[in-house]
Every structure is written in structure tokens, then in C-alpha cells.
Homo-oligomer: A and B are copies of this chain.
Amino acid sequence: MRDVAVIGTGMIDFGELWAKSMRTMWAEASLAALADSGVDGVDLITVGCMSSGLFVGQEHLASLLSDELGMAGIAAGRVESACASGGLALRAGFAEVASGLSETVLVTGVEKMTDVDGADATYALGTAADQEWEGFHGITFPGLYAMLAQVHMQRFGTTSEQLAEVAVKNHANGLLNPHAQYHLKVSVEDVLASTMVADPLHLLDCSPVTDGAAALVITSVERARELAGDRPVVKITGSGMATDTITLANRADLSELAAVRLAAERAYAMAGKSPEDIHLAEVHDCFTIAEIMATEAIGLFDPGFGASAVEKGLTALQGKIPVNPSGGLKSKGHPVGATGVAQVAEIVTQLRGEAGQRQVEGAKVGLAQNMGGSGGSSIVHILEVA
């Protein structure tokens, strides 16, 4: 298997982008990544996108988007694993370069979510749950994560204040990220005073609906060294994927995210690393409880200690193990198909030492954890300065 490196990153400013279409956003992010990489062509394009069919009435993104970039003819394909579609796009590109089938791949993610009304967006997102056993009976994602939060609270004594601390931290980090959807400081009091969406999750415990796109260029480590110049070469050393039952009702234990644990175990095994080796992580904080459970599942903290860790500042930008220095889904925004790609873009930016005010000092090993549905799928990548 060939070693694979990330040589370019690009993302647009996330937000409610009513003046930009899906294809425009995607092309802007892709051109930024290509410019950053220094290559003038690629062999393959992968696109992570959850539900362009429901959000904008458009499938067949491989053809549509390659064409938009003036690259009709190129090999291209789309992947989907709900909100983990971006991570899957990287995995697909990684397998192509690792096998030698492709030399250089443009890995992208995109979601245009604000061209429909709120009810339709909620319906589209709900298709990440088991519609026949969950969605059609009325539950939506805040409700599913609220149930996970309730179990975590009962089992471990996690509090609403601790959940709020995740939002406080991630919004503080987001203030330092020019691409973030929200540049606003929030306090624990703000979170607790915001509208209750699904008990115990308040509005400020939830990530937003976002338009956005992100992109990476990956190639063999050998080629990356030739192109790197003075910049560090960032290698993908671990890639792990896993699923869990899609319905919460069928899970053995609702206090853990088993798909995340399994995906992380597989990524660690491949990289020859353990949680202690990780310098920073981007995790899938679609809700505040999700970040706490994710940090436990990837082994940064023991089960039940994720909440106190954030309260103690261990996951802050200057903490022991910074989590979501980008601002996370909470502040940066969550264009679902783009999220997994944007997470890796942040890790690469950090490992290159190019993160500016939000730079994690001495970062040499980073982890990105992307998740679909209520934890029905997860993809974890480990990246290192080669």
C-alpha cells in the first residue's frame, strides 16, 4: 500500500449563502485546494454529499461538478454516509491513491441546505435516521441526541452546564476562524437561557443548518515531498470506518458511540498510535453531547469523563488536548456533506503550523472524527507530519 499525503486544503466561508449555488460553493472550495496544492491537474474527484436530491433536487454530482470545474472527462464519484459523507470522500480517495489506481485526487464535500424551508431541511436530515422505525414516527435529530444526553446524564452525572461548556469553548475557538459561520462569544448562561429544543438540549447545544463546501488534494507521499517546498508533509497514517445499528432502540448501550470507538480503534491500529499520541482532534459536535461522547469513544477520556474534561478546560485551545480548534460544527457550521472534509482541512492546517491565532503549539499528530446519523456510522482519520 502506498503512503498518502494531503497537499492542499480549501474551504469557503460557511454560512447561509443565499447568493451561492451548490455548484458555485463547491467549485470555489475545489479551486482553493488546487491552488494550495500546487498541482495543475488530478486523476479523480470524490464528492461527499448527504442529500442533494432532497436539498436541491440534484443527484449525479460526479458529472455535474466535474463539468462545473471545466474537467468533464475526469473520473469522478460521489459518496454518502449521512453527515459522515465528507470523511467517506477522503477514505474513497485514500484507497484510490494507496492502491495506485489514482495518483492525485481532489477530495471534496458539499451541502446546500438553506434553499428549502426549515421543515424540509428537518425532513432531509431525518433521512439519516431509520425512517421506518424512527423518522416516520415523528422523532428528529435533536430528539435522538437528547435521548443520548439523558442516558449520559443518568449514567455518569453529566450536567446541562457541562454540555454548555462545549458550546462556550467551540464558539470561543470559532471567533478565531475566519471561515466560521458564527463569530459570537457565548456563555454557559447564554446556552442555558436559549430555547429548549429537546430536553436537555437548548438551541445553543445544537449545530446550525449551513451552506458550505471544503476540499483537499491528496497524492502519494513521494510526490508530496517533491511539491512541499518549505511546508511540512502531512501524511494520512490511519483510516478507520465502522457502523452501528441505525436505530437507537437496537443499541446494546446508549452511553457510548460504538461506531466511533470501532472506527478509532481501526485508525489507531493502522497508524500504530494510541490516544495518548494525539495532539489535537476535530470531532463531530453536531450537538454538545456528541462532542463529549466522541472524545470518550476515541479514547481521549475514559467513559463518563468527557464532560468533566471540557469543564476543566482540558479540551480548550490551550488545554492538554485541544478539541475542535476550528470551532467545530457548533460554531464553524455544519454543511453535512462538507463537514468531514473541513475537519481534515483544519487538522492539516494545524499540522502545517498555518492556523494563525488558533494554532495549537507543537501539533504533529491530529485526529479527525466524522459521524453519520445518531452514530450509525463513523469515519476516523489520523494525520501526522511525515
Contact = CB atoms under 8 A, between A and B. Distances in A.
Interface string A62-86: 1110110001111111111110000
Contact of A51 (B59, B131, B246): B59
A72 B241 contact: no
Contacts of A98: 95, 99-101
> Which of A64, A78, A259, A262: most chain B CB closer than 10 A?
A64
A52 B91 CA distance: 22
Nearest to A87: B77
A227 to B, nearest CB: 22
A359 interface: no
Contacts of A244: 63, 67, 72-73
A242 B81 CA distance: 23
Contact of A75 (B44, B50, B242): B242
Contact of A60 (B73, B75, B82): B82
B377 A241 contact: no
For the complex formed by this chain, how many copies does it contain in all? 2
Chain A interface category by residue count: 35 or more
Nearest to A60: B82
Interface string A246-264: 1100100000001100110
A279 to B, nearest CB: 25
Given A51-B53, A377-B62, A75 B127 contact: no
A341 interface: no
A146 B342 CA distance: 42
